Structures are given as C-alpha cells and as structure tokens.
C-alpha cells in the first residue's frame, strides 16, 4: 500500500512539475489599415519563465505579395530577441504594425505584463566585407521586368546577378491586378471578340493621345500573346478564354487572368525557375547606387550597397535597368507632373514603398535621354485610407457603376483612366462608390482580383452590403431616391433593357447585366497615383539612348523605368504585358550584346 501511495505521490509531483513547466498560448487580433478589422490574428506562446517561445501569424488578410514576408520575419525576430518591440519589415509597414498590435493584444488578453517584453533589444549587425562580383549581365530590380529579363538573359546563355533593394521580389508588379492584355491575332477567339493585334495597337496609341512611339507599341502588342505562352513554358498557370475581361481603363475585353491572385503567379513562377538554375544569383536587400561605365562610356557594371551597408561592386558585360517607376517619390512626381496640377503627399498611391525613381537618378548621371516624364497616371480606384488597389470589389468594367456622395453617376465608367480620374476629382471629397449586385458575387464568398471576398470586405468595414438599394444607400450615406433613380436609368442600357445597344448620356458603351439582383454591394474609392509612364528612352531592342541620340553601349532598360510606350494614358492591362514583353527583350539583348 505504502509503495502504491509513494508511486502515486511521485506521479502527482511529476505532473505538477510538467504543468508548472507548461507553455501558455494566447491569441490576439488587430485591425490593420489595409486589411481592416481582424486583419491579423496571432498566437503567442510564452515559456514558464515568461520568455517568448513561439509567435505564429494564424491569419493575415492583407494584400497578397505584401503580407508573406512580415508574417515570417517578425515572429522569428520576436523569438530570437525575446522582445515584441522589433523592427518593421521594409515595404510592409502597415502589415508589420498590425502584427505588433495583434501580439500586444494577445498578451494583454492573457493579462500578461508586457513591460519587459517591450524592451527594445539592440540588433548588432556586423558590416560584411566589401566584395567584387562578376557576371555576364547584372539586372537592377526584381520586379516583373527585371525577373523576366534575368530569365531571358539566362536562357540566352548568360550568367546573371539580380540586385533588389527591398527584402522581397515583386515590386509593383506583384500588387497589380494581374491582368495581361494580349491578342492571338486571327484566332477564333479574337474574331469572336472583334479583336485583333492591330485594334490593340490602335487603342493603345489612341488611348495615349498618340504620344506613344508606334514602333514600341507595335513591339508590345505583337509580342503580347507570345509573352503569355513564354510564362506558361516557365510553368505559370492561366485561366482560360472564359475569364478574359475588360480591366478598368482597358477599353476592350482582352485581359487574360493568371490562376494565382494579383501578380503573385509571375513571381511564384520566376522564383521557382531562378531556384532551379545556378546561373542566376538573386541578391535581396541590395541597393544599386550607380551604373559603372568604362573609358568609352559603355556600361560595365554597378556599385550597390549590401544588406549590412557594405559596398558590392558587380562587373558585368551589360546592365539592365528595371527599377520601376517613381509614384512613391513625391518630389519627383511633383517636379515632373504635366497633367494633374498637384501630386503632393495628400494624393495617395497604389505603389510599393520602393517605387522611388532610383533608376531615373542613376540614368541621369549617364546623361540618358528621358521622354514624357510629365505623363503620370492616376486611377480612380484607390483605397480611401491607403491608396492601395486591394479592397476593390469590382471584377470587370461592364458590371458596375460609380456614384458620388449624392448617389449619382457622373461619367463613363468604361472610359480612359485619366478621364475617369478627372471626373472623380470633380466630385465632392473626390470620393465615389463602386456599386454592383450579386451577379458578380452570388454568395459573397467569390474572390475579387486581389484574393478578397466581398463578405470579408464587408466584415472589415471596407465595403457595404444590403438586400435593397434603399438599405445600401443608408449604409453608404447617400440619398436613397437618387441611388434608386440612377440605377433604374442605368439598367435601361444593360442587357435586356429598353435602350440596350445604345450609348448613355456619358458616352458609356460597355454594359453587362443590369444591377437589379440583391444583395447589392458598394465600396468607396479615391484617386491614387498609379503609374509613371515617362522614363528613359529605349528602342525596340531595349537599348538606352543618351541626350545626343546615341546608344549607351551595353545598357538596357525595361518596364516602368522606360518611357514613350503608353503616351499620356496607359490602357489598363498593358503594364504587365510591358514587363514581360520588354523584360524578355532586354534580357536577350543584354545576353547577346545586341
């Protein structure tokens, strides 16, 4: 008996010890400005001595392409430093803030005193030695154009180093809606769509007020369909013909959709390719500062700053500049803007933090020629808090309308992006609502172009939903009678309406199903700086020109850093086409020395 009792006692003591040593987990949530209420949910596990044992982000509803890196890095740092006061991830400050807030919320929910854990720990970063590297081709920027160029250069036999200043690949391209305008000339589908490569060419030039260079535009549209096939050969998945649609400001249903959300499919594909080859070296957190030239003025490499502040010299036979645009650089956009009057910091932007025009500065130092720098594109589709494209409930042009704060339509929602944005600036508070019905969201759980469902957006307070238009108007804070009358009038032009086939009072011609099928949805939007269409002068081989009209040898550029393709106004769906088409060409030219 005694023996049994002592065994039981020993077991009980062991159990208590185990219990005393048990970790405790707490969950918390945070509202991020991008993702809205409950955008981030975390679980924090503390060891029995109160130290941080694990942090996991269980849910992050922020923009795909932004949220992955902070969700991985911040928890790891918190555990490593045993502090919840760690640095934000560059380019993802809002998501970072949401993770910090959710962690704090978790601990406070559990009644944990966070004073000690809030202590900021010094992270000592030892400066790595300066180094000199060699490659056939060095590419500056790991966005859409840069990675297309890197892969194309490798396919043409070159060894490649890509430098990217941010901690991740993707640039603006990964945040884009993902659509690619492309026509397979004379195919059955093109004929059915009344479309052709020439019509795409004409609309691109006309949509940019004939300021685009016809040769560059022809290169864009002629190679567009093949560009999609090239990404398919690399392994990228695309939706079929049934998903082809008209992007806002795209003017025609010729936009193909990747299978993965937003621009993420490109980078999933490109990085898998890069991982498999040993001929492309991708260096993140590495900022190009200067393009090197030899005695003859030909480009021969770059100087960059590495992650620890060390200097990295890369000698190369040719250099591809793919640094993107400057929509996040307020002083540059104010200095160049020729369209809007003011683009000060009050005007938000869709762009990622790294879109600061570094390429412009590096190329200016070489007396490169710049074209149409004043052509800056705004969209009427920004999130009212952040300017981001995410949260946009629309799918395609023909199924939605824009109404102002009085509940009235005010322009052609199928028109050019600059016209739509000008119209929006003229409305009260430059704010409008996109209104649509459940033809697009039969259950509310269908995804928009950014991987969000209408129901999630409603839950997050970023959209409203109601069974009747009167209830919707109340949630929007607009006059109900105006909204009902506006939609009644609009529906007359839609499929089955008494005025079907006619243009309406605003000149709109793209109409789909009427808005008459509840529940109804509305989401608010504001003007936002989107794309800088001016840039360095290139030719159809992506060779860069100087101010005297001469080629700068061994120097190539592609993507948003270049100018002269889109004129005054870029068609929706042409930007990603541009990155793949010209990225591929720049890579080939750089590898083969064209």
Token pair in block for residue 562 = 């270049």
Q: Could you give the CA distance from residue 444 to residue 447 in angstroms, rounded to a whole number?
A: 8
Q: Could you give the CA distance from residue 493 to residue 132 in angstroms, rounded to a whole number?
A: 65
Minimum CB distance to ligand ADP, residue 173 (Å)? 3
Backbone dihedral region for residue 328 (phi beyond 0: left; psi -120 to 50: alpha; all else: beta): alpha
Closest to ligand ADP by CB, 302 vs 510, is 302
Minimum CB distance to ligand ADP, residue 553 (Å)? 22
DSSP letter at 196? -
Q: Could you give the CA distance from residue 355 to residue 90 in angstroms, rounded to a whole number?
A: 12
Is the preceding omega at residue 519 within 30 degrees of 0, hence cis? yes
Closest CA to 44 of 13, 17, 83: 83
Minimum CB distance to ligand ADP, residue 356 (Å)? 7
Minimum CB distance to ligand ADP, residue 134 (Å)? 18
Q: Do the Cβ atoms of 35 and 452 come closer than 8 Å?
A: no
- Which one from 254, 400, 417, 570 is the annotated catalytic residue? 417
Closest to ligand ADP by CB, 258 vs 559, is 559
Minimum CB distance to ligand ADP, residue 309 (Å)? 15
> Which parts of 241-399 are beta strand (E)?
255-256, 280-283, 287-293, 299-305, 311-321, 370-371, 376-382
Q: Could you give the CA distance from residue 418 to residue 424 in angstroms, rounded to a whole number?
A: 10
Half-sphere exposure of 72 (CA within 13 A, CB side): 7
Closest to ligand ADP by CB, 98 vs 283, is 283
Q: Do the Cβ atoms of 532 and 326 come closer than 8 Å?
A: yes
Closest to ligand ADP by CB, 436 vs 575, is 575
Closest to ligand ADP by CB, 190 vs 581, is 581
Torsions phi, psi for 387 (to 5 deg) = 85, -10
Rg (Cα) of the chain, in Å, rounded? Answer: 27
List Cα–Cα distances, 207 to 222, 249, 406, 583, in angstroms. Answer: 17, 9, 30, 23
CB-based closest residue to ligand ADP: 143
List 26's β-bridge partners, or say none. Answer: 44
Closest CA to 530 of 285, 294, 223, 176: 176
Q: Could you give the CA distance from residue 373 to residue 343 in angstroms, rounded to a whole number?
A: 14
Minimum CB distance to ligand ADP, residue 170 (Å)? 6
List 255's β-bridge partners, or say none. Answer: 181, 245
Torsions phi, psi for 517 (to 5 deg) = -125, 95
Distance of CA 373 to the CA centre of its chain: 22
Closest to ligand ADP by CB, 248 vs 532, is 532
Closest to ligand ADP by CB, 52 vs 389, is 389
CA angle 36, 38, 39 (to 5 degrees): 60
Half-sphere exposure of 169 (CA within 13 A, CB side): 25
Minimum CB distance to ligand ADP, residue 547 (Å)? 22
List Cα–Cα distances, 538 to 137, 201, 278, 325, 545, in angstroms. Answer: 18, 18, 30, 15, 6
Q: Do the Cβ atoms of 508 and 419 come closer than 8 Å?
A: no
Minimum CB distance to ligand ADP, residue 165 (Å)? 4
Minimum CB distance to ligand ADP, residue 140 (Å)? 5
Closest to ligand ADP by CB, 167 vs 518, is 167
Closest to ligand ADP by CB, 142 vs 424, is 142
Where do contacts with ligand ADP occur on this chain (CB under 6 A)? Answer: 140-146, 163-166, 171-173, 287-288, 322-324, 354-355, 358, 559-561, 579
525 catalytic, yes or no?
A: no
Active site residues: 417
């Amino acid at each position: 008996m005694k023996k049994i009792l002592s065994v039981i006692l020993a077991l009980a003591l062991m159990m208590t010890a185990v219990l005393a040593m048990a970790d405790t987990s707490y969950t918390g949530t945070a509202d991020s400005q991008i993702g809205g209420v409950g955008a981030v949910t975390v679980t924090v596990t503390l060891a029995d001595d109160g130290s941080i044992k694990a942090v996991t982000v269980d849910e992050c509803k922020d923009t795909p392409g932004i949220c992955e890196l902070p969700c991985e890095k911040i928890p790891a740092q918190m555990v490593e430093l045993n502090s919840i006061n760690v640095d934000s991830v560059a380019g993802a400050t809002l998501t970072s803030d949401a993770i910090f807030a959710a962690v704090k919320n978790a601990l406070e929910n559990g009644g944990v005193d966070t004073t000690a854990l809030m202590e900021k720990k010094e992270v000592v970063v030892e400066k790595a030695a300066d180094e000199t590297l060699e490659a056939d081709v060095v590419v500056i920027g790991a966005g859409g154009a840069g990675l297309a160029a890197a892969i194309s250069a490798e396919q043409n036999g070159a060894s490649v180093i890509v430098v990217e200043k941010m901690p991740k690949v993707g640039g603006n391209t990964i945040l884009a809606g993902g659509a690619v305008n492309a026509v397979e000339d004379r195919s059955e589908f093109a004929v059915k769509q009344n479309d052709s490569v020439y019509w795409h060419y004409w609309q691109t030039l006309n949509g940019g007020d004939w300021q685009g260079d016809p040769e560059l535009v022809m290169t864009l549209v002629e190679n567009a369909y093949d560009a999609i096939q090239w990404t398919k050969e690399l392994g990228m998945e695309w939706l079929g013909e049934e998903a082809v649609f008209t992007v806002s400001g795209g003017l025609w249903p010729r936009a193909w959709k990747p299978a993965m959300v937003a621009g993420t499919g490109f980078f999933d594909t490109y990085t898998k390719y890069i991982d498999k080859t040993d001929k492309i070296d991708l260096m993140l957190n590495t900022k190009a500062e200067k393009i090197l030239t030899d005695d003859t003025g030909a480009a021969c490499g770059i100087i960059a700053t590495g992650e620890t502040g060390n200097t990295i010299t890369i000698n190369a036979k040719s250099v591809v500049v793919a640094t993107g645009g400057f929509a996040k650089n307020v002083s540059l956009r104010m200095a160049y803007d020729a369209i809007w009057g003011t683009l000060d910091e009050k005007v938000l932007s869709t762009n990622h933090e790294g879109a600061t025009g570094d390429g412009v500065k590096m190329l200016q130092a070489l007396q490169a020629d710049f074209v149409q720098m004043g052509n800056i594109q705004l969209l009427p589709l920004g999130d009212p808090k952040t300017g981001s494209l995410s949260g946009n409930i629309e799918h395609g042009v023909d199924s939605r309308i824009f109404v102002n704060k009085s509940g009235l339509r005010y322009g052609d929602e199928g028109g050019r992006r600059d016209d739509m944005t000008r119209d929006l600036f003229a409305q009260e508070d430059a704010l409008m609502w996109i209104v649509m019905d459940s033809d697009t969201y039969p259950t509310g759980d269908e995804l928009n172009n950014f991987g969000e469902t209408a129901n999630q957006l409603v839950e997050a307070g970023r959209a409203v939903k109601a069974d009747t238009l009167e209830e919707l108007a109340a949630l929007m804070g607009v006059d109900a009678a105006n909204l009902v009358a506006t939609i009644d009038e609009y529906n007359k032009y839609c499929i089955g309406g008494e005025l079907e086939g006619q243009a309406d009072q605003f000149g709109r011609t793209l109409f789909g199903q009427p808005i008459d099928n509840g529940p109804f949805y509305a989401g608010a939007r504001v003007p936002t700086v989107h794309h800088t269409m001016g840039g360095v002068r290139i030719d159809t081989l992506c060779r860069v020109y100087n101010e005297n009209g001469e080629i700068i040898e061994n120097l190539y550029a592609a993507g948003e850093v270049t100018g002269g393709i889109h004129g005054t106004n870029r068609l929706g769906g042409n930007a990603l086409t541009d990155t793949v088409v010209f990225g591929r060409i720049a890579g080939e030219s750089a590898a083969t020395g064209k």
